Homo-oligomer: A and B are copies of this chain.
Amino acid sequence: MAHTTRERLLDAGLEMLLQHGYNDLGIQALLQATGTPKGSFYHYFRSKEDFALQVIDRYMDEVHQGLDAALGDQSLPPLDRARRFFELSREKYRRDGYLGCMLGGLGQELSGINPTFAEKIEGCFGELTQRLSACLEEARQRGDIPLDSDPRELANLLLNCWEGAALRSRLWRDPTPLDQMLDFYFLAATRG
C-alpha cells in the first residue's frame, strides 16, 4: 500500500504533537516511534513544518466530522447541537488523556514565532466559528437566544472560552473545567 507509511507518520504525529507540541517533537523520536527510516519521512514531507501542517489538516478532518455529527443532527434544537459538538470534543479529549486541543496548543506555542502556523491555526478557528455561528444564527431565528444577539461574536466567544477551559483541563488532566464552562455559557447565552 502506497499510503501506509505516510498514514502511520501522520497518525503518530497527531498523538505526539498533541503531547509534545512542535519544538519538543524531534523527527528522530517520531521515526523511532513508528519504525520509519528518515528517507521515507522526507520522501513524503518537504520538512518538519510541512509535516506538522498536514497533521493539523488531519486534526481538522476529525473536527469537521464532529461538527457534522453534532450540528447535522436535526432531531436536536440548534443550541443543543452546538453543545453536543463540544461534548463530543470532551470525549475525544478524555480518550487522549485530557491533553487539550491541538489548535490551542500549537497556537500558543507557535503564534509568536511562526506566521505560517499562526495563519493556519487562525484559519482553523475561522472554519470552526463559521459553522458554529450558522448554528447559533438558527437558534437566534427560533428565538432560543435573544434576537439581538450576534451569532458570530457568540461563536467566537464560545470557542475562545472552550480553549481556555481546555488548557485548564490539560493542567488538571480532568474534564471539570470543560463541563463548567459549557454549563455557564449555554445558560448565559439563552438569556442574552
Using CB atoms and an 8 Å cutoff, list the residues of chain A in contact with chain B.
18-21, 23-24, 99-100, 104-105, 107-109, 111-113, 118, 121-122, 125, 153, 156-157, 159-168, 170-172, 177, 180-181, 184, 187-188, 191
Between A and B, 14 residue pairs with Cβ closer than 8 Å are A21-B108, A23-B23, A23-B109, A104-B108, A105-B112, A107-B171, A109-B109, A111-B170, A157-B177, A159-B168, A160-B181, A163-B163, A164-B164, A187-B188
Partner of A188, one of B19, B165, B168, B191: B191
- Report Cα–Cα, A121/B171, bound state, in Å: 8
List of B residues within 8 angstroms of A24 by Cβ: 23, 109, 113
- Report Cα–Cα, A24/B25, bound state, in Å: 12
